[in-house]
Amino acid sequence: MKKSITYIAILFSFSVSLAQWTQLQPELLLKPMPVLLDSVHAGVNFYDFAGNIAGLFEDEHHFSLWAGSGIDYTDGGYRLPFEPTIRNDQQYTVRLVKPLTERNIFKGYFGYHHNIDQSLLWIHQNRLSQVNPFVLADSSRGTFVLDGLFWSGEWAHKFNRHWQSGIGVYYNVDHRLKQVFPKPEDRHRDVHFRAGIQNSYRKWRWGIAFRYFDEQEKVIITKYNLQQNLTPVLYKFRYADLPVVLLGKTSEERLINYHGALVAGHFLAKIRNHLRALGNLRYITSSGKVEDGGSSPLPQGTFDWQVWNARAQFSLRKSQKTEWVLRYDFRYESSKSQHPDFSITTGKRTNVTHAIMLGVKQKVKGKSFLFADATYQRSREQEKDLMTENFYDLGYHWASVRLGISTRASKWWSSSAWINLQRYITFRERISGNQYSEFFQALFLNRFSYLSNRSFGIGAGFQVTYHYGPMFDAVLTGQFLSQSGGKEWNGSKYLHNQFLNICLKFYII
């Protein structure tokens, strides 16, 4: 009887479980709401560090039930083109972790999310706005409301004390509706398959993770959504050239199919008693196609996207009171789009980023620690619109300094808080002078202006944890970030963004 109840609980959790948030691509998945950590993460494991399911035994190895909610709120006028004036994302999740045997463990998520985007211009589709240049839009500004469900199931197996493996599946469905005429519907269906393997030998651990994803977005406008005596004005963009304008069209259906794969390799080594090194190399390749017309599809174009990520990190614990960390990150991203009827590349974009971070964690008194880190980043972004023969070449420096304190007030309560300052400096600004159209201004120049006008940023955050023995944990986190532009931006100076993230978690065994 006990076994049957266990299997029923596992089956239920698998069928209604929310996916583990990853950093695969910011626009592919719901924005993650992590518990914010100190600069030096003492408990590195492959499940968190590289998204490898084989590391599940290190991350979770006890039976537990978890429930949580999160709010992600952003507002402000200084933002990328075609982002909403106000964004409010809410998320509610439950999670089950169940060891099946000594060598097998299961983890499942289920969740509901509700997103509101206010005063969003024109564009209907919700995904891949910087990768997919083929845009369906209308002439109105309005609020979009999204409701959706996520679920996932993950299983890890331990062959012996050296080898572990894992597999997982993730599924998402959601529905997004514009609240004003012509009320386009935006539907998503996403499926991800994950697999991983991990090996431990003496002071070395290494692993390989794989992911295949297939995502679909469908935008639908039907005559039943239209208000009496009103006719929509629809636009079809192939990026910055003049759009196709549709007058009096009462129905349209756009289908965006997107698929690809991720492969990652990673290692963790204890070089000496006090020196630890870790590294990660990740490659993503993907492609998509856009079609209109429903049952009689008409190709609109295809697009490709590739990313290389690499990280190397060294941690040195000089004593029981002091720990240093040095980290280097590299990212190369490229995307291009192709004409639907001819073998012509219509646009290209590349971005190269180097970043280095130095952090320290110092015990000051009792169970209190000070932590600080400094980050320097250098980026260069190049974009070419071959339809209008326009381009820009932008390079900028970004620096950030953060200082915080972490303390344990008692065996039940612990907390941390921090502040950080950011500074942007542009070192390269080259842009073509061909002012092709107002659509070119909106889709091409405004992104360049946003990136080149950034100036300052200031932020603060906190984390409070209540731990009651092995039965219950509650974690509350929050973060505030304000950014400003040092030049004119849409007729105003120094407009700010406010960002708030709250996550409340309960662990029950």
- Closest C-alpha to 350, from 397, 289, 392: 392
Pairing of strands 275-292, 298-317: antiparallel
- Cα three-residue angle 162-165-168, rounded to 5 degrees: 160
Question: Is residue 314 within 8 Å of 356, Cβ to Cβ?
Answer: no
Q: What is the pLDDT along the chain (509 residues), one digit of tens a residue?
A: 445 444 434 333 333 333 333 332 323 222 333 332 222 223 455 666 667 888 888 777 778 787 778 777 877 777 777 778 888 888 888 888 888 988 999 999 889 989 998 887 777 777 776 788 888 888 888 899 999 999 999 999 999 989 999 999 999 999 998 888 888 889 999 999 999 999 988 888 899 999 999 999 999 888 766 666 677 888 888 766 677 888 877 788 999 999 999 999 999 888 877 888 989 999 999 999 999 987 788 898 899 999 999 999 999 987 878 889 999 999 999 999 998 888 888 889 999 999 999 999 998 888 899 999 999 999 999 988 887 788 889 999 999 999 999 998 888 898 999 999 989 888 888 888 776 666 667 667 777 777 787 788 888 888 888 877 666 777 777 778 777 775 554 544 445 555 555 555 666 55
Specify the amino acid at residue 495: L
302's torsion region: left (phi>0), alpha (psi -120 to 50) or beta? Answer: beta
- Cα dihedral value 134, 136, 138, 139, nearest 10: 0
User: What pLDDT is recorded for position 126?
Assistant: 76
List CB contacts of 310: < 8 A, sequence separation 6 or more: 279, 280, 281, 282, 329, 330, 331
How far is residue 268 CA from its own chain's centroid? 24
Q: Return the number of other C-beta atoms located less than 10 Å from residue 415's C-beta.
A: 15
Which of 18, 30, 11 lies closest to 150, judged by CA?
A: 18
Whether 474 and 505 have beta carbons less than 8 Å apart is answered as yes
Structure confidence at residue 324 (pLDDT): 92
What Rg do the C-alpha atoms of the chain give, in angstroms?
24
Q: What angle do CA 313, 319, 324 make, to 5 degrees?
A: 25
Give the per-residue pLDDT at 330: 96
Nearest to 338 by CA among 132, 81, 54, 93: 132
Which pLDDT does position 12 carry in this prediction?
Answer: 35
pLDDT of residue 66: 78
Supply the pLDDT for residue 484. 76
Contact 92, 69 (CB under 8 A): yes
Contact 361, 403 (CB under 8 A): no
